[in-house]
Amino acid sequence: MDYVFEIGKRFGNLPFYINEEEIKGYLGAPDFFKKEVGVDCYTSDYKYIEFGIDISYLHFDEFDDAIQIQTNKIFLNDNDLYVLPKNEVLELIKNEYASRKIKFNYEYESYEFEDAENQEEYDFEDIGLTLWFRNQKLINASVSKPISE
Confidence bin at 33 (pLDDT 50/70/90): very high
In this predicted structure, what is the pLDDT of residue 125? 87
In whole numbers, what is the pLDDT of the chain averaged over residues? 88
Say if residue 149's pLDDT is above 60: no
Say if residue 30's pLDDT is above 90: yes
- pLDDT-above-90 percentage for the chain: 43
The model carries a pTM of 0.83
- Structural domain of residue 16, as residue ranges? 5-146
Confidence bin at 107 (pLDDT 50/70/90): very high
* Lowest mean pLDDT, pick from 2-11, 89-98, 100-109: 2-11
| Total domain count, the chain | 1
Confidence bin at 147 (pLDDT 50/70/90): low
Say if residue 139's pLDDT is above 70: yes
- Cα–Cα distance, 74 to 7 (Å, whole number): 12
Say if residue 146's pLDDT is above 70: no
In this predicted structure, what is the pLDDT of residue 9? 82
